[in-house]
Amino acid sequence: MRELIKIAVDAMGGDGSPKKIVDGIIHNHRSNKENFFKLFGNKIEIEKYLTKDIDTNYYEIIDTNEKVKSTDSPLEAAKRGKKTSMWLAIESVKNKETDIVISAGNTGALLVISKLNLKMIPNIDKPALSALWPNKKGMSVVLDLGANIECSSKNLVDFSIMGSSLYKSLYPLENPNVALLNIGSEELKGNEVIKETFQILNEKKSQNFDFSGYIEGNELMNGKVNVIVSDGFTGNIALKTAEGTANFITDELKKALGGSILGKISSLLNIHNLKKFKKRLDPRLYNGAIFIGLDSPVVKSHGGTDYIGFSNSLDVCNKIIKGNLIDKIKSNI
């Protein structure tokens, strides 16, 4: 058997766990036999949902009754102890027993416990939370999405390098194109940190990505840029706004097409296009945010996603390891 990618899984994090987690693993395993899953959590609960669809050669269960609660503050989660499923999963990456860790649990707790266990990549001051967004031409990497409210120009330059390295790991045949999220496209617009970052990146002329200057919020999904950089405050608002807009459009379309006889007939006539539209806006396809900047990769699955969404985030884990993300960042930084 070829060397498998070892994924540490916090099996108790997120809504509907561990059932959702195990179902996602089984669903992923049906189409991908490259992963070995090390599951951390209540063994009795986990085994309830394991089926013959996944062979014991592809998973191991590390039994623990302790878990981080969704209501815990990051400090409470850290104090809860070193026997929680989240802590043990992260520790396994630290000890090189696994290649990457994933959790659908408490985001703040995951970031704090990761930072307590894992070292930063040399010359990087802050980790960033990054994620994939759809655009007209494919996908974009966007960071930071909330890990750092305030950032210096050095932090934003680091995010540019890390984001382009992530994009290259996920899409090795494409060249990263970086832009800074700003209130305008003119050089004079924005705060001092943004303008200073612009100058540094404009003069840097990196071999690892092309710098395209500024990008405004209404251009995020036009596909001209595939790595979008901001501080965590701005990035988080942009993310939540995009998610809310997508949900609003989908809900309103459902009402329009289901509210009258004419609407129902129209939806039947356009069922193929409607399915394509629905799939394009399906948040499960883009599940799997990455804490980037630590010396081991940490992936955050959305706590409210279903097993399909969790399975997609396992694909992200697979691509990150196969794409040698950490080595790329170290060489580019």
Say which CATH number the domain at 76 has.
3.40.718.10
Q: Are residues 281 and 298 in the same domain?
A: no
pLDDT in tens, the chain (333 residues): 568 999 999 999 989 999 999 999 999 999 999 999 999 999 999 999 998 889 899 999 999 999 999 898 988 888 888 899 999 999 999 999 999 999 999 988 999 999 999 999 999 999 999 988 888 888 899 999 888 889 999 999 999 999 999 999 989 888 899 999 999 887 778 889 999 999 999 887 777 888 999 999 888 888 889 999 999 999 888 888 877 877 787 777 777 666 666 556 655 556 655 566 556 556 666 677 899 999 999 999 988 889 999 999 999 999 999 988 998 898 887
Domain of residue 164 covers 127-288
Q: How many domains does the chain have?
A: 2
Supply the pLDDT for residue 119.
93
Q: Are residues 275 and 135 in the same domain?
A: yes
Q: Are residues 54 and 72 in the same domain?
A: yes
Q: Are residues 138 and 252 in the same domain?
A: yes
Q: Are residues 267 and 240 in the same domain?
A: yes
Domain end, chosen from 272, 288, 304, is at 288
Q: Are residues 240 and 304 in the same domain?
A: no
Q: Are residues 99 and 178 in the same domain?
A: no
Q: Are residues 2 and 83 in the same domain?
A: yes
Q: Are residues 169 and 257 in the same domain?
A: yes
Supply the pTM of this predicted model: 0.86
CA torsion sign for 60, 65, 70, 73 is: negative
